[in-house]
Amino acid sequence: MSNDRVLRVGLLGAGTVGAEVARLMVANQVDLAARAGVGLVITKIAVRDLTTPRPGIDPSILTTDSDSIVTDPEIDLVIEVMGGIEPARSLILKAMTHGKAVVTANKALLAKHGAELFHASDLADVDFYYEAAVAGAIPILRPLAESLVGDHVERVMGIINGTTNYILTKMHETGASFEGALLEAQALGYAEADPTADVDGFDAAAKAAILAGLAFHTQVTDEDVYREGIRAITADDVSVAKAMGFVIKLLAIAEANELHGSQEETISVRVHPTMIPVTHPLAAVREAFNAVFVKCESAGELMFYGRGAGGTPTASAILGDLVAVARNRNEGSLGPTETDYADLDIAPIGVSRTRYLIRMDVADVPGVLASVASTVAKNDVSIMTVRQEGRGGDAELVVLTHIATESSLANTVKDLRELEVVQKVVSVIRVEGLI
Ligand code: NAP
Ligand code: HSE
């Protein structure tokens, strides 16, 4: 199909993702134009360093002046793939006030300033799309915002950070330590030299905030998300989990809390290492893959699986957004805007309910089990299974609880630490996926 009409695109960033967006827009230009109903052409690209070799990109369209892109009257749409908070935030806002639609992959920015950006796109009457911001290539935001908008989401639970999933997979499958698996992830280019954003759960928390906002029609920021990373997970934790038929994953969980009496509905959003049975569908998600499990009142359980990162998979999601914007423009319409009408409160972590695995070093003497059991029961937590392994004068006790609140569990652990027979509470790991 030939098309004389053109939608002019400005690209902010030509790194891992931006370079692939540029390459695919040229490689697939005929198909993209046919699907969009208009030719799609990149007319300017902002980068920091003009001397970096960028194969396939015409150097004459590169600039270090990002402002000249977002204010250019000839540009219809801006794709922001530079990352970070500033100048990305100011540039997006300026692009919108200059009447340009915006597509971004920037989860860190959306999780901090999403409300401001949605408001600005409403005021400017421009499209704002961000499918690539969560789980890379996996279509999950549009399904939540559009396909499932007639349903009632009860829970979203997912593996939404590829780096930590790679590390935990290696620990599970090879017995590697956290440090050893991290080095391997860095050598393969999954983890950055400073792995903080991934291993300490910041990246997953930002994505969890975006998922929760869409699922529960509420503004959620990264500050609202309870977060624990995977640095404290040891090879021993993984080996105990494995022996019990579990695998440890860094899960993001957003859920509606159970209502008691006349309580107002609240949601919980958390990211933490979690044990799930090896038979759970999320347990089969290996290496750097992502998957998101959504439980709805009418649709039941759904799972979305695929590549959560990488230039080409992420560019796929961006190009999908680009075509969506082009189609909207052809029809003189706009895509769906943010809905935050429900405005639910986000409950503190103490209210969340799950099961827990508590590993303790204890004195191997008569009465240990009884004293541990009564301490647990005193805090309104009940025991599902207990496993004890003798090791000479002492033993390891592994207690799996029934569902309890985080605050009951915290009190239990505090009291266990004070017991004379408990030498050390080695670790506490949350457990999901048991019926
Ligand atoms: P990247 O490789 O670091 O690329 C960033 C690009 O932006 C580079 O081209 C850089 O220029 C340019 N840039 C940065 N600051 C700039 C500034 N102030 N002015 C002009 N240009 C600037 O990052 P990426 O991995 O492509 O990620 C981009 C975005 O996509 C981030 O928001 C990230 O969270 C998101 N994302 C990434 C992935 C992934 O797998 N990488 C997946 C999903 C979402 P130079 O080339 O000159 O340095
Ligand atoms: N660092 C992220 C990950 C990239 O490991 O999943 C995609 O956001």
**Cβ < 6 A, ligand 1 pocket:** 13-18, 46-49, 52, 66, 81-83, 87, 105-107, 132, 136, 309-310, 314
Residue ranges matching CATH 3.30.360.10 in the chain: 141-308
Residue 215 sits at the vertex; the CA angle it makes with 141 and 86, to the nearest 5 degrees, is 60
Q: Which CATH architecture has domain 6-136+311-331?
A: 3-Layer(aba) Sandwich (3.40)
Residue ranges matching CATH 3.40.50.720 in the chain: 6-136+311-331
In CATH, the number for domain 141-308 is 3.30.360.10
The residue whose CA is least distant from atom 25 of ligand 1 is 16
Can you give the pTM of this predicted structure? 0.97
Peptide bond connecting 87 to the previous residue in cis, omega within 30 degrees of 0: yes
Residue whose CB lies within 8 A of the most ligand 1 atoms, among 11, 17, 44, 163, for a mutation test: 17
Question: Residue 170 catalytic?
Answer: no
Kind of pairing, strands 226-227 and 266-277? Answer: parallel
Length of the chain: 435
Q: What is the pLDDT of residues 68-99, one digit of tens each?
A: 999 999 999 999 999 999 999 999 999 999 99
Residues above pLDDT 90, as percent of the chain: 93
Ligand nearest the Cα atom of residue 203: 2
Q: Where are the alpha helices (H) located in 342-402, listed in sequence order?
A: 368-378
In CATH, the number for domain 352-431 is 3.30.70.260
Ligand 2 atom at minimal distance to the Cα of residue 107:
8
What's the gap in Å between 395 CA and the centre of ligand 2?
A: 39
What's the gap in Å between 137 CA and the centre of ligand 2?
A: 11
Measure the N-to-C terminal CA separation of the chain; round to a whole number of Å: 54
For residues 329-353, one letter each, b for 16 or more C-beta atoms within 10 angstroms of the residue's C-beta and e for the rest, the string is beeeebbeebebeeebebbebeebe
What's the gap in Å between 413 CA and the centre of ligand 2?
A: 33
According to the model, what pLDDT value does residue 22 have?
98
DSSP 143: I
Mean pLDDT, rounded, for 240-250: 97
| Run of H or E residues at 356 | strand 353-363
The residue whose CA is least distant from atom 1 of ligand 1 is 15
Least confident of 62-71, 167-176, 187-196, 293-302: 187-196
Least confident of 42-46, 224-228, 254-258: 254-258
Least confident of 151-155, 186-190, 210-214, 318-322: 186-190
Q: Which is the catalytic residue, given 107, 207, 249, 378?
A: 207
Mean pLDDT, rounded, for 13-26: 97
Q: What are phi and psi of 205, to 5 degrees?
A: -65, -40
Residue 155 sits at the vertex; the CA angle it makes with 85 and 278, to the nearest 5 degrees, is 100
The residue whose CA is least distant from atom 21 of ligand 1 is 47
Round the average pLDDT of the chain to a whole number and report it. Answer: 96
Ligand 2 atom at minimal distance to the Cα of residue 204:
6
- Residue 4: pLDDT band with limits 50, 70, 90: low
User: How much helix, strand and coil, in percent to the nearest 5, is found in the chain?
Assistant: 40, 25, 35
Mean pLDDT, rounded, for 46-50: 98
Ligand 1 atom at minimal distance to the Cα of residue 14:
9
What's the gap in Å between 16 CA and the centre of ligand 1?
A: 7
Residue whose CB lies within 8 A of the most ligand 1 atoms, among 45, 64, 67, 81, for a mutation test: 81
Residue ranges matching CATH 3.30.70.260 in the chain: 352-431
Token pair listed for 381: 């937590």
CA 52 to CA 168: how far, in whole Å?
35
Q: What is the pLDDT of residues 350-401, one digit of tens each?
A: 999 999 999 999 998 889 999 999 999 999 999 999 998 877 778 999 999 9
Res. 3: pLDDT tops 50: no
According to the model, what pLDDT value does residue 394 have?
82
Q: What is the pLDDT of residues 125-150, one digit of tens each?
A: 999 999 999 999 999 999 999 999 99
CA 80 to CA 69: how far, in whole Å?
11
